[in-house]
A and B are shown apart, each in its own frame.
Chain A
Amino acid sequence: MTNSTFTRRGVLKTGAVTGAGLALPTIFTSSASAFTNEPTGSTVKFGFNVPQTGPYAEEGLDELRAQELAVEHINGMGDGGMLNTFTSKALDGTGILGKKVEFVTGDTQTKSDAARASAKSMIEKDGVVMINGGSSSGVAIAVQGLCQEAGIIFMAGLTHSNDTTGKDRKANGFRHFFNAYMSGAALAPVLEKEYGTERRAYHLTADYTWGYTQQESIQSFTEAMGWETVNNVLTPVGAGDFSSYITPVLQSGADVLILNHYGGDMVNSLTQAVQFGLRDKMVNGKQFEIVVPLYSELMAAGAGENIKGVFGSMNWNWQLQDAGTKAFVQSFGQKYGRPPSNSAHTCYVQTLLYADAVARAGSFNPCAVAEALEGFEFDGMGNGPTLYRADDHQCFKDVLVMKGAENPTTQYDTLEVVEVTPRAQVEYAPNHPMFGGDAATLGTCNDGA
């Protein structure tokens, strides 16, 4: 049943007390309460749905650590982390609206079906008011759709596809993480500065929706600055051996290879491209370069030395020097002995943002919470001044351009921050064609009543 890190001894006791009060049989339908899973007791329950098995298990584990930490901070344990630097002061460390936060965890397996099953069990069995987490866009979109139907709030974890807040945007879903379009917008100027405007790019793209949206975004930005796109080759997910896709690259006359891969695919394609000696070659009189548009610390660790000097983008990194980042890294590092990853950061921030929105709205009703989040401006969460845009529920904030470090001192600083791209540079219109155009709508908020 319930679980919590702070009142583990109280569980049995509270159980005995509430049990006595419900002796008579009563019959009611689910529409009796004001909205789905309206919390009635002294606690409120969050659902943390992350990959715990499969290729992204390590990332899921880090998200779980961060979510646990966020719950601690909301309940007033530990040092408070980013609550000290967050510009909104609605949370006071006594839980939310006087209710202590508890949480349940589940395994998405990085499969839409399993993720939805896990999310449903959280909604139907555990009675959660909000679901947070995930490490892939397919899962995020699937769970977001479910939360919309069920009438609870979905705070997306790591999901980078344009579709999450593009053509698949939902009124009950919110994304803090950046997206493929922002990656392109942030990377392009840096690539132009480093590699010039006369480049020929060859794309290897993971053959599924996230890959498509990222490739489309990067191509449009690199072409806008004068690069030519030689070819875009779709590679099967989990191909393992990418040699037959890498070998034609040099023959094509391209001088930049862009790897639209994530996770294990990115580790293998990058490792193998380096093994093929691509980065030692001179093509068209220029040094051959590789770009990995979406980085994550854990995947960078998997690629080892091969990422040295390779550019990519990230939502956030622990090496930033602002107060919010420092507070979070300190608090996370004290507890777990390692710096947080950027997916951990996004899950932590999302949990706090949800809690704060509830406190400001004065209600757990998902529609009231959504209203509080829409158009919300805040700072102190590590990404500078941030806006939760009302039109598509996407956060707008600074984006990081990263590079594989030449001389890392520990296993945690294999990536270094090259540039913090200001928010203005990555903004776009809500009806941008890459985000579903005018056809994309949030729909109406659903509170399940």
Chain B
Amino acid sequence: MLGLSAKDTRFLLIVVFLTLATPFLLQPFPETSSLAQFNAGYPDLMQKFAIFGIFAIGFNILFGLTGYLSFGHAAFLGVGSYTVVWMYKLLGYNVLPGLVLAIIISALFALVIGFISLRRSGIYFSILTLAFAQMSYNLAYSVLTPITNGETGLQVYLNDPQILMGENSPTSPHLFGIVMRDSTQIQMGDWLFTMNNGYYFCAVIAIIAFYISLRIFRSPFGMMLRAIKTNQTRMNYTGLNSRPYTLAAFVISGMYAGLAGGLLAAMDPLAGAERMQWTASGEVVLMTILGGAGTLMGPVLGAGFIKYCENIFSKINDGVLHGWFAFMPDGIEDLIVAMIHPFVGKGWHLTLGILFMLVVIFLPGGLVEGGQRVARLFRRNKKAGPGDKDPEHHPKQAPHVAE
């Protein structure tokens, strides 16, 4: 189906199902239980999962396949966001023109930056991309304030032209009248599920993005990119010029990043300069490595993992902790709360850092490898003998960048 093998089709269908069922899967605890703190099924976080999933899928096309480690992909994210907000300001709140233009403009940016940066390889390439992104960030934060509104972030004002705005047009981002912010809520017993228009919009795009990435992974072009990663010198000796292939991969992943940035602004009409900072570029690198570089699902898992930690752990405060352990005797309760206290709330960074280290120490292939180990464990129980050919993983974990 759709030009995929049976195995890949099954894999894609699983992804489609998981994506569409996210509002239910992420809401496992009833509203009234104290574990509802861990529920992630609210619109903003689900949108972030989908958007950063797209960002990481795109980044993986470059890094996972070619081994070129870009430290400047956040620049395209920012460009995408600024484009969409400018379209709001000039045309109106329909997200479509902005998103299309975001992909085009980030592709142009990626073409220029990629053309220059790809003249070098290894860490020299990484630093070149980092330099371009940091320049964009610093300029957007200060000198370009008339275009970017600097630290405050670009937003829509009532006196903006918005020439396509009709009398009854929604006053927030929408797709032909479907307002992104609107949700339908379903209450089932103690469970409250929120099905948000914006999330489903992102989810459909994420599925398409995933499908394209799957096709690229399986295509001759994808094979060519892997060949570059394995041994670029040998490829050059066979008379092939690898530069057009890497540049194409760079531009494609830049377009993914631009799309992700555009979607961020499509969900929430604001574009901040810090989206371009090196920490944002580093975040997508971490997402990809954490999930498993070069695997199809890994980057998405990594993105979800980091966004979940950021949004859920940072909101646990002492009051919440006391709520959880209220059933214990006072002394023990206080002791346990004191022990957990440094890792949550203002200490959520610490938890993230420790988890990074644990994952990379014990699961060298990232979260995907963790999943595979579990899967192998089950399979061994069923029929002795490793059937080690997951569709979500290409056969051998090749060494990564700059080896």
Which residues on A are within 8 Å of B, measured CB to CB? 1-5, 8-9, 11-12, 14-16, 18-19, 22-23, 25-30, 52-53, 57, 60-61, 103-107, 111-114, 116-118, 120-121, 124-125, 136-138, 141-142, 145-146, 149, 163, 168, 207-210, 212, 234, 236-237, 439, 441, 443
CA distance A168 to B150 in the complex (A): 14
CA distance A11 to B34 in the complex (A): 8
Chain A residue numbers with a CB within 8 Å of B183 are 29-30
CA distance A142 to B85 in the complex (A): 14
Which residue of A28, A117, A163, A207 contacts B152 across the interface (Cβ within 8 Å)?
A163
User: Known contacts A22-B187, A53-B348, A105-B345: does B272 contact A112 (CB below 8 Å)?
Assistant: yes
Which residue of B142, B186, B314, B319 contacts A27 across the interface (Cβ within 8 Å)?
B186
User: Known contacts A117-B48, A149-B181: does B43 contact A124 (CB below 8 Å)?
Assistant: yes
Chain B residue numbers with a CB within 8 Å of A145 are 155, 270
Which residue on chain B has the smallest CB distance to residue A441? B158
Given contacts A1-B323, A11-B323, A107-B346, 9 further A-B contacts (CB under 8 A): A5-B322, A12-B327, A27-B185, A53-B349, A104-B315, A105-B345, A107-B315, A112-B152, A117-B311
Which residue of B152, B185, B270, B311 contacts A29 across the interface (Cβ within 8 Å)?
B185
CB atoms of A3 and B44 under 8 A apart: no
| The 10 residue pairs across chains A and B that have the minimum distance between CB atoms | A3-B319, A52-B346, A120-B44, A15-B32, A207-B142, A138-B151, A208-B151, A112-B272, A125-B42, A1-B36
User: Known contacts A2-B323, A117-B311: does B270 contact A19 (CB below 8 Å)?
Assistant: no
Chain B residue numbers with a CB within 8 Å of A125 are 39, 42, 45
CB atoms of A8 and B187 under 8 A apart: no
Interface residues of B in 159-204 (CB under 8 A from A): 159, 172, 181-190, 194
Between B44, B188, B264, the greatest number of chain A beta carbons within 10 A of the residue's beta carbon is seen for B44
CB atoms of A30 and B275 under 8 A apart: no
Which residue on chain B has the smallest CB distance to residue A208? B151
CB atoms of B186 and A25 under 8 A apart: yes
Q: Is B145 an interface residue (CB 8 A)?
A: yes
CB atoms of A121 and B315 under 8 A apart: yes
Which residue on chain A has the smallest CB distance to residue B46? A124
Measured CB to CB, the closest approach of chain B to A194, in angstroms, equals 32
CB atoms of B32 and A16 under 8 A apart: yes
Chain B residue numbers with a CB within 8 Å of A105 are 315, 317, 345
Q: Is B138 an interface residue (CB 8 A)?
A: yes
CB atoms of A209 and B33 under 8 A apart: no
Which residues on B are within 8 Å of A, measured CB to CB? 30-37, 39, 42-45, 48, 138, 141-143, 145, 149-153, 155, 158-159, 172, 181-190, 194, 264, 268-270, 272, 274-275, 310-311, 314-315, 317, 319-320, 322-323, 326-327, 345-346, 348-349
Chain A residue numbers with a CB within 8 Å of B323 are 1-4, 8, 11-12
CB atoms of A23 and B182 under 8 A apart: no
CA distance A113 to B190 in the complex (A): 31
Measured CB to CB, the closest approach of chain B to A164, in angstroms, equals 9
Which residue on chain B has the smallest CB distance to residue A13? B326
Which residue of A19, A120, A146, A443 contacts B32 across the interface (Cβ within 8 Å)?
A19
13 residue pairs of the A-B complex, CB under 8 angstroms, read A1-B33, A3-B317, A12-B323, A15-B34, A18-B32, A19-B189, A29-B183, A29-B185, A30-B185, A106-B314, A137-B151, A142-B270, A145-B270
Measured CB to CB, the closest approach of chain B to A136, in angstroms, equals 8
CA distance A104 to B37 in the complex (A): 11
User: Known contacts A5-B319, A30-B185, A121-B44: does B31 contact A142 (CB below 8 Å)?
Assistant: no
CA distance A63 to B119 in the complex (A): 50
Which residue on chain B has the smallest CB distance to residue A3? B319
